[in-house]
Structures are given as structure tokens and as C-alpha cells.
Amino acid sequence: MASVFLVDYSCALKLSTPVTFKSIMYRAAQQGILFKGGSAIEKLVDIDTCVFDKTGTLTHGDMEVTDVIPLCSSNTARDLLAIAASVEEHSNHPLSQAVVNAAKNNELPHIEHGEVEYVIAHGLRSTLNEHTLVMGSRHFLEAHESVDFSLHEELIKQFEAKGRHLIYISHSQKLIGMIGLRDHLREEAKATLEKLRTLGINELVMITGDSHYKAQILADDLKLDQVFSEARPSDKSTIVESLQQQGKKVMFVGDGVNDAPALGSADVGVAMSKGTELARQVADVVLLRDSLQGIADSRELANIAMKVIRSNIKAAEYINSGIMLAAALGYLSPTMSALLHNGTTLSILARSAALRNG
């Protein structure tokens, strides 16, 4: 009876799981990944859908001005860029900073203008020569400012076909020019997406504010399953929730302030290393290195952790059951029963601790 009572399951079961989580978290940190607790690891294993916010995740956050296209005879390309930069310098958005940097590189003068109003997720509004000056997305100018685009449809399609992100500029409700910018796809993006599929994530989704035409070009290149184009910041969390309502376990990858609601509503939120402080606070997983590879690595590490935890539980149950049966049949003395039971516990803990070093 003493030999039987010296054997239980609780020691190995209670200790192996936290030790495994701690070991994997240590190993992840060495690989540039911060897991915020064991629950993030548990939930990451069940993910079947990964949603990316395009800018700053699939592409680098920095943008480059490639084209300045005046659409009226009164302004040259230099005039248009100087006007745009003078207004855009009041915004910290990556697109705005790219325009300002282009103007600085060309040593363009500052153009006097009125007070600047920042319209979230749309663009900027000011005045020039006492007439309204607006710059931003096509939706903003067309739907909110009643600017006519019909005369320039073919030209717009030409630049969209090149993959340009376009900032439109209107003065007195007339389209006076466009600025084309290019972002750069991350070198590791395709390899990371392919690895995520091999790790069991079946659906890859992208959310972007780009036009449908431009978004589809990138989606085809990356072989994405679904793309949501011309999306507003408020749409991101709605899209994540709609996917969850379809029974999917969703991981959202983002980096901006506007991504915080989606990072919070997703089953697992992943923030990029150069993300805003709010995004990093809300996310369950933070990448400490500026590379998408960390997303695939985090999934792989989570799979390893849960595989070890499950096998530890089975080992503890089977081995301790065998020890208990042998003790009940009188084959083991109390001393031997205690040694075998505690030896099993220590062996399982050592196996979990060994995960620290891969």
C-alpha cells in the first residue's frame, strides 16, 4: 500500500507544462520572438488563417516617390511636388514622409498654404491661394470632395498597372496632379508564406487600402487566398471578426496604430518589430527582428511546445500507471516505487528544459 500511495500523476503533469512554455519562450527570444505567456503559444497552434495588413508587414514600411504627374498646365512636376510636400510635412504617415523626403532631395522650396486638416485614413485638406487644396486617396477626393476623375482614367490605370500607390491632389475641386510611390515587397515574404502553409495554415489573407487592381497584382504574385482592397482602418477588425464567425482561427499581423483593434480581436495578434507602441502592447506575439520569417518560426515553436507537452502527459500517465500496477502487485518496495516515480518526473522536466537550446 505504501508503494502504491507514493506514486501519483500530479508532479509531472503540473510541472512539465510551465517548464515547456518557459523553455520555448526563452528559445523564441533568442530567435527574435517575444511570446506574451503560454496562452499565446496554445492559441497559435490552432490557427488556420493568417491575415496580413500589407504595408509594413508584407512590404517594407518605407515608401519611395517614383512619379510626379501634373494634370494641369499651370503646374510643373516640381511645383506639384513642392505643394504636396509643404502640406504633407504636417503628417507622420509613411506616404507623407516619402513625399517630404523627395522634396528635400530635390531642394524644393516651401509653399505657403492654409491650416492643414488631417482626415484619418483619407488624406489632408488645406487651402492654397484661398481655394481648397486636398490630397489623399481617390475615394476621399471622389466621394467626399466631388472631384471628377473621368478625364484621367487611362493614365491612372497605366500607373496602377506598374504597381504604384497614388496620392491624388485637387485644387478648387479639380484634379491637378498625382504622385506615384512604390513600396518594396519583403525579400522573405514568399518563402515565409510557403512555410506557413507547410505548418498547417490553410488560408492566407491580405488587407490593404490599395485599389482592387493593384492589390490583386500582389495577391496573385504571393498566391494569397483572399484579398480585401480599398479597406479603411476600421474595416480591419470587422474583417477579422467576420472570418472568426465563419469558424476560423485567425492570426492578424500588423504594425500600426490603426491595426490595434484587429490585433486585439484576432485569436492571436502579431506585431512587427518596427510597429507602433500601441500595436506592440496589444499583440500576443511581438517580432523583435524586422523579418517576416519570425511569424513562421513562432508557429513552428508553438507546434514543438504543444507536441512535447502532449507527449509528456502521455508518458507521465503510462509510466506512472505501470509503476502503480507493479507496486499494487507487490513487485516494488516503497523505496523503489518512490525512486521510479520521482525519476520519471525529473526525466520529463529535463526533456522540457532541453527545449531551451533546440
Enumerate the active-site residues: 53
Which amino acid is residue 124, in one-letter code?
A: L
- Alpha helix stretches (DSSP H) within 107-165: 138-139, 153-161
Those residues with Cβ within 8 angstroms of residue 321's Cβ, 6 or more apart along the chain or in another chain: none
d(CA 216, CA 161): 11
End-to-end CA distance of the chain: 41
Q: What is the phi/psi pair of residue 178, to 5°? A: -140, 150
Grid cell, residue 79, equals 511645383
Cα-Cα-Cα-Cα torsion 292, 207, 93, 179, nearest 10 degrees, comes to 110
DSSP codes of every residue in 294-310: HHHHHHHHHHHHHHHHH
Q: Cα–Cα distance between 141 and 171 in angstroms, integer?
A: 10
Which DSSP string do the residues of 323-344 spell out, in sequence order?
HHHHHHTT-S-HHHHHHHHHHH
CA angle 241-244-249, nearest 5°?
Answer: 130
In the 8-state DSSP scheme, what is residue 74?
Answer: T
Cβ–Cβ under 8 Å, residues 239 and 207: yes
Backbone angles phi, psi at 146, to 5 degrees: 55, 40
